[in-house]
Amino acid sequence: MADRLSALLQRFELSAQVFHGGPLCGVADVDAQPGTGHLHLLRQGTLAVSDGRGGSMRVEQPSVIFFPRPQAHRLESDSTAVAELVCASVHFGTGDTNPLLRALPTSLVVPLARLPGLDLTQQLLFEEACRPRCGHDAVVNRLAEVLLIQLLRYAIEQRLVDGGLMAGLADPRLHKALAAVHAQPARDWTLPSMAAEAGMSRARFAAHFARCVGVPPGEYLTTWRIGLACTLLRRGIPVKLVAAEVGYANASALGRAFAQRVGTSPAAWSARDGGSARQAVNA
């Protein structure tokens, strides 16, 4: 079976940074920061979560709480039972150009009882987060990333999202074509070649893809390539090399497609967005 997540995660550099581990007494406000989501792992206690937009939920059993995109929210423990949790900020590379991030809902809350495969991960994560030792930061951050990947895997397998890329990755036929496109963006993809990866006729594939993912296959392919181009440009890779990497014959061809989607040329975008991103990394 084609790996539905690896190419996406490799291209967009998922990372997590744990900033709290242990009991929560009272209230904690989590600010929205550009390009940052948040992951909370509740091991015991009761937690009230409000999102600042009038939405609220009460989590009364060990659970994973995930806000994929920037969202200010408040965590409040029950006065009769201190909540024990680990909290991490999450980054999905270039943010809104990542199709996986765009496909996720505003929040995901999954009880740990439904995630038996996370037992060892969450146990190790709590042990490391609450008892700092040599290499503490590296260990807890990698464990938080593993936890998040396992959550995404579960969301796909259980079809927790009924539209967009997540629905396509959950589809027994479409996920083969999507995985191939993600792994080989430079390939000369056509509707027939994508349909062949899914083992479907061209007409049935096009209709099923649009119904399930929400956009035609060609539009998804272009969006994927332009999003990947943004990632590579932010790394300082020259436009000519980016064009070859993402499936365009030359820099001019990429420039036309890029301008149609982004509204500016790759060079201008790189100087503005990519340059500021590199300065932040090097600061």
Domain boundaries, the chain: 6-157, 171-282
171-282 is classed CATH 3.40.190.10: no
Q: What confidence score (pLDDT) does residue 175 get?
A: 94
Q: What confidence score (pLDDT) does residue 282 get?
A: 31
Q: pTM, whole model, 2 decimals?
A: 0.83
Q: What confidence score (pLDDT) does residue 33 get?
A: 86
Q: Which of 21, 17, 27 is nearest to 41 (CA)?
A: 21
Q: What confidence score (pLDDT) does residue 279 get?
A: 37
Q: What confidence score (pLDDT) does residue 168 get?
A: 93
| Low-confidence residues of the chain: pLDDT under 70 | 1-2, 93-96, 273-283
Q: What confidence score (pLDDT) does residue 96 get?
A: 60
Q: What is the pLDDT of residues 123-165, one digit of tens each?
A: 888 888 877 778 788 899 999 999 999 899 888 888 888 888 9
Give the number of other Cβ atoms within 10 Å of residue 274's Cβ: 21
Q: What confidence score (pLDDT) does residue 122 get?
A: 84
Q: What confidence score (pLDDT) does residue 99 get?
A: 81
Burial 40-53 (b: 16+ CB within 10 A, else e): bbbbebbbbbbbee
Q: What confidence score (pLDDT) does residue 191 get?
A: 97
6-157 is classed CATH 1.10.1200.10: no
Q: What confidence score (pLDDT) does residue 56 get?
A: 85
